[in-house]
Each structure stands twice: as C-alpha cells, then as structure tokens.
Amino acid sequence: MSNEAVLHAHSGAHDGHEDHSHEHHHQSFISKYVFSQDHKMIAKQFLITGMVWAVLGGFMSVLFRLQLGYPDSSFPWLETILGKWAKGGHITPEAYYALVTTHGTVLVFFVLTAGLSGTFANFLIPLQIGARDMASPFMNMLSYWFFFAASIVMLSSIFVETGPFSGGWTAYPPLSALGDASPGSKSGMDLWIVSMALFVVSSLLGGLNYIATVLNMRTKGMSMTRLPLTIWALFFTAVLGVLSFPVLLSGFILLIFDRNFGTSFYLSDIFINGVGALPNEGGSAILFQHLFWFLGHPEVYIILLPAMGMVSEILSVNSRKPIFGYMAMIGSLFAIAILAFLVWAHHMFVTGLNPLLGSVFVLLTLLIAVPSAIKVFNWLTTLWRGNIRFTPGMLFAIGFVSLFISGGLTGIWLGNSALDIHLHDTYFVVAHFHIVMGVASMFGMFAGIYHWFPKMYGRFLNNTLAYVHFWVTIAGAYMIFWPMHYEGLAGMPRRYYDYSIWESFKQFQDLNQFISLVAMIVFAVQFLFLFNFFYSIFRGRKVTTQNPWDANTLEWTTPINPGHGNWPGEIPEVHRWPYDYGKDGVDFIPQTTPVGADESVEH
C-alpha cells in the first residue's frame, strides 16, 4: 500500500499536493487522543503508559529495598498503603516476593519493551523513513489498546485476595503452576498469564506493522543502506519479537493447561506439604525454561537494540561527525539478532542440562561479545575528533555507552558456564543485568526522549533539570549496582527476603542499607524528569526552528508540529545516507540535499 493510500484511506481521495492539510480531518477528542490512528499519538500513548508503569515498578523496588535495607525497622505508613501485606509496618514475605516479581515483569515488558520500542518504533519509523504513517494504522492502534488491556489486567492482579503472582518474573513451574505451593500462584497467576498473553498480542501486532512499514514504505531514494541506525535497530527488534513472542505464548498455554486442566507438561513426581502426592507424572519442569528463555533471551535484545540504535544516532548528531563504521554497525546488529536466538540455555547452565549442550551455549554466548565490542569501539571512535555538544540526549547517550561497557563485561563472566556454576542466581547476576539491560536501556530511553521531545511536542525540555537528572542518575546507578558485584562474589543469593539468619551473607547489612538509600534518592530524582516532561509539554520553551539539533534525518524536515500525515506537501526525496556531518568542511548535509558535483565521494 502506498503512503498516500494509507493516509487517504479514511479521509477521501486527495492527491497529496500542497493544498492538502490535516485540518480536513475534523478529529474529535476521542479519535485524536484516545483511539488515535496517528503513529505519533500512539507513540505518546505508549510512552506515557510506560512512564506510569515505570513509576509503579520503580516504587515497588523502593518498597522491597526498604525491607532489604531496614529489615528491623517498622514503617507504619506501609501498613496504611499495603494493609495486610505489611502487618505492623513490616513487609511480609508474600508481599516482598509479589513486589519483586511484579517489579521484574513490569519493568521488562511494560516499560522497556512497550514503553521503549513501542514509543520509538511508532514515533521514529514513519518520520525517519519518510512515510505518512504505519503500514496499518488500525493495527497500530490495536497494538496500543491490547497493551493497555494487559496493563489493566496486571494492575487488577495486585488487588486479588491471594495476592499477585510471586514466583519471580520468569514464572518457573512447578511453583507457578501450583497454587498450593505458593498463594501467589492462585488467581494472581491466572491474571498474570492473561495479562502476558494480551501483551504478546500487542507486541506481535506492533512488530509486524514495524517490519511491514520499514520494508515497504520508505520514501523515494531511501534505500535500506540509507536508513538511520535507529530504524535498523528498531527493525531487528521487531523481527526478534515476532519470532520469539509466539514461543513464549506457547509456553504459557501449556502452563494454563497444567494449572487448570490436569495435564502434565511441566509436572512430575510432586508431593506438596499439606496436600499430598499429585497425580502428574512424566512432565519436565525444564521444558518451560527452554520455552521461556527462547523468548527471554531475545527479549534482552528487544530491550537493548532500540537503545543502541538511538544512541548511535544521537552520538553522531551531537559529535557533528558521521557514525563510525555504519555498515559494521548494521552487521553487528544483525549478528546480535541472529545470536540472540542461539544462546538461551545460558540461563540454564545449572539446571542439570547436558554438559555438551551447555558447552555449545558457552561458545555462542561469548561470541555475542564480538559484535558488542565492535559497537562499543565504533561509538568511541565516533566521539574521537568530534566537536561534541552536550545536549541532555547526548549525556544520556554517553551514559548508555558507559553502562553498556560495565554491564556487558560481566556478561563474559556469567556466559562462561564454569563461572556461572558459582555465580548463578547471586547478586552478581542482579548487578549484571540491571546495569546492562535495565539502567542502560533506561538511559537509551531517556536519551531518545530528550532528543526527540522537541519533535513530539514542539517545545524543549528544561536543560538544567535535565543535567541534574542525568548526573544524579548515572552516579546513583553505579552506586546502587556496582557494590552488588561484591555481594555476588560472596555468593549472596537473589530473591532473599532477609539475610540475617545466614552466617555467609549477613555481613552486608550496612551495604544493603546504603544501596536502599541511594535507590530511594535516584527514584525521587526521576520525579524531576517527570515534572520536567509534563510541565514542558505545556509550558516549555518553544521550538522556533525546524531543525533544532542541526540533524540530517528526515523527521527534522517536517513542520515543527507535524499533523497526521507528517509532511504537508509531498514527502521529500532522499539523496544520501544520514550521517554526512562535517563532510568537506560542511557542518551537516541533510538527507534531502542532492549530491553536489564537487562533493568528495567517500562512503
């Protein structure tokens, strides 16, 4: 379907000339802000829903960090907000595990998948490839509303009598299958699965749309090798999601059968205290882990790749230099996308998996370090001999690179099974994945928000607030997660409610208190960002030029506040790659500028 056909499918036949403008649409409040089919509005919906979840998920971590940092103190206000889950001002173990589980699920799926790639794939794909909208705006709208439904179901699970699911975000059976083994695995788990199933639907609708749009709707001259790296990253992200989420859904469906219909896919030889021996025999609890991690590992890259793409773009724009090794960047994204499917069992080295199989996964896992190293060195070389502008977006992009290095290197430890057999499920792992996937991707997301906010709302965010936000957050992130490596090197296990009875792990009480304190400060500082965001939507300094960052990509050729359809006239034609910064002494040459006769021919 052509760009014009998409746009005009519901607004009558125009032929897309200057006289066409979106005032013709007569949008009601509902069709503009609620059931919108404009990719930019859907992006904002994903972003703001993601932010709501980030606040909730972050607050959950503050609550359970209170328990870890101050296990002996009582906080009466906790009982006020949590009721029976915090009797006497102490978070109960049930509540602790529910908080940890919901925090993980929400941050991984709702914030860093929907909130990150949902926002930026929707916002940037049409704008940067030169399209009026997505291939199917209607499917795009459905994608958001399935996500919204998933959110509501997940939220409702917090309020059921037996509590939300509390068996960890990975939901390993038999714990997740047996309500008698854990109260959270009763109706809370049913709601959790329903919510996740809706989320998978949302993700597939979105992903198929992104792929179709990138492949079919690029403007004239926009060959695949002229795409900005953001689009390449979002494209591979969508491919990963489309190929792996169905496997997760299949795993969940088998789990639903085991939970409700007496099958034994995952259950065998189980005796539950107070209930007795269960009839199930012959199932394999490990099967679920294979199905789960077949999504679960690509999921890590679904979270990380969009951040990598945006960081590549932002680093290049603000260094006033081309991204170094454009083709190598695409190649390494591709390599990561392929390898992402071949490493899932490194989460399962200690499940008793066949050692030979394990060794293959060691090899493939450590192979991922090669494309990752290429990316890091290319980013560093992009900065080299540039002329760097520290916009807030740029600061977060540099922060991303720093965190990606720090967290990525510990992956070399954990990917080697003979070390993992010692460090598995300790705080070393918590430190590793929070830095490399959690905080780094959050930094990518912040970079994207600060960089594209002027395009989203036609106003700037306040810079001073942004600088405070950045420096406190990066310092805080390191202070929270760096010492956790040491807890891991002491063998301290994850997901413990209280360490005081353990001779081997109780020496970290003061450290846990420090970490909790920093976590609370960092959480509080995010409100500066939130306030900045919502205040600036209405009151921020107005953008007065079309291209405030002097960037080359197509989104900056649209009007300051683009309407539905993005370009009032014809979509511009593309003549070059997006990274001609500093070429022949010219600061920047937008993609729409034809190649001059006297231009040097490099690239």
Partner 1 sequence: MTIYLTIAVIILIFVVIFQISKASEYVSTLKGDEVSRKQNNKINGFLMVVFLVLGLVGVWYCNHVLFDRTLLAHDSASVEGARVDSMLWVTLAVTGIVFLATQIVLFWFAFKYQEKENRKVFYFPHSNALEVLWTVVPAITLTVLVVIGLRNWFLFTGAPPQNAMQVEVTGKQFGWIFRYPGKDGAFGKKYYKNIDPASNTIGLIWDDQLTHDDVVTEQTMYIVKGKPVKLIIGSRDVIHDVGLSHFRLKMDAVPGIPTTLWFTPKYTTAEMKEITGNPNFVYEISCDQMCGNGHYSMKGIIEVVSQEDYDLWMAKQKPYYLSAFPDKDPENAKPAPAVAVKSTSNAEIEKPVKL
Cα 480–chain centre separation: 20
Please give the residues from 437 up to 466 whose contact with partner 1 meets the rule CB under 8 A: 462-465
Q: Judged by CB, which is closer to partner 1: 12, or 282?
A: 282
Structure-token pair, residue 112: 């860093």
Give the N- to C-terminal CA distance of the chain in Å, as an integer.
Answer: 32
Structure-token pair, residue 123: 């916002």
* Interface with partner 1, residue 268, by CB under 8 A: yes
CB 365 within 8 A of CB 432: no
- Nearest distance in Å: CB 416, partner 1: 4
Please give the residues from 419 up to 438 whose contact with partner 1 meets the rule CB under 8 A: 419, 421-422, 424-426
Helix (H) / strand (E) containing 587: strand 586-588
Task: For residue 570, give the DSSP letter.
Answer: S
User: Of 108, 153, 197, 398, which lies in the binding site for partner 1, with binding defined by CB under 8 A?
Assistant: 398
Helix (H) / strand (E) containing 11: none
Q: Judged by CB, which is closer to partner 1: 250, or 509?
A: 509
Q: Judged by CB, which is closer to partner 1: 117, or 417?
A: 417
> Which of 3-11, 225-233, 265-273, 296-304 is the region at the interface with partner 1 (rule: CB under 8 A)?
265-273
User: Of 160, 212, 489, 560, which lies in the binding site for partner 1, with binding defined by CB under 8 A?
Assistant: 489
* Interface with partner 1, residue 172, by CB under 8 A: yes
* Interface with partner 1, residue 327, by CB under 8 A: yes
Please give the residues from 532 up to 591 whose contact with partner 1 meets the rule CB under 8 A: 532, 541, 579, 581-585
> Which of 23-31, 108-116, 450-458, 522-530 is the region at the interface with partner 1 (rule: CB under 8 A)?
522-530
- Nearest distance in Å: CB 122, partner 1: 30
CB 442 within 8 A of CB 58: no
- Based on its alpha-carbon atoms, the radius of gyration of the chain, rounded to whole angstroms, reads 25
Please give the residues from 276 up to 295 whose contact with partner 1 meets the rule CB under 8 A: 277, 281-286
Residues 6 or more apart whose CB falls under 8 angstroms from that of 397 comprise: 310, 311, 314, 315, 318, 443, 444, 447
* Interface with partner 1, residue 490, by CB under 8 A: yes
**Interior angle at CA 317, CA 312 and CA 319, nearest 5:** 95
Class of residue 261 by CB neighbours under 10 A (exposed 0-12, middle 13-18, buried 19+): exposed
Task: Report d(CA 316, CA 596) in Å as an integer.
Answer: 22
User: Of 16, 206, 251, 322, which lies in the binding site for partner 1, with binding defined by CB under 8 A?
Assistant: 322
User: Of 48, 168, 341, 543, which lies in the binding site for partner 1, with binding defined by CB under 8 A?
Assistant: 168
Please give the residues from 203 up to 262 whose contact with partner 1 meets the rule CB under 8 A: none
**Alpha carbons within 13 A on the beta-carbon side of 74:** 7
- Nearest distance in Å: CB 182, partner 1: 5
* Interface with partner 1, residue 357, by CB under 8 A: no
* Interface with partner 1, residue 166, by CB under 8 A: yes
Task: Report d(CA 603, CA 593) in Å as an integer.
Answer: 16
Class of residue 282 by CB neighbours under 10 A (exposed 0-12, middle 13-18, buried 19+): exposed
- Nearest distance in Å: CB 89, partner 1: 11
- Nearest distance in Å: CB 401, partner 1: 6
Phi-psi region of 427 (alpha: psi -120 to 50; beta: other; left: phi over 0): alpha
* Interface with partner 1, residue 49, by CB under 8 A: no
- Nearest distance in Å: CB 193, partner 1: 17
Please give the residues from 180 up to 199 whose contact with partner 1 meets the rule CB under 8 A: 181-183
Strand-pairing partners, residue 493, are 426
| # binding residues, partner 1 (CB under 8 A) | 132
> Which of 53-61, 138-146, 301-309, 524-532 is the region at the interface with partner 1 (rule: CB under 8 A)?
524-532
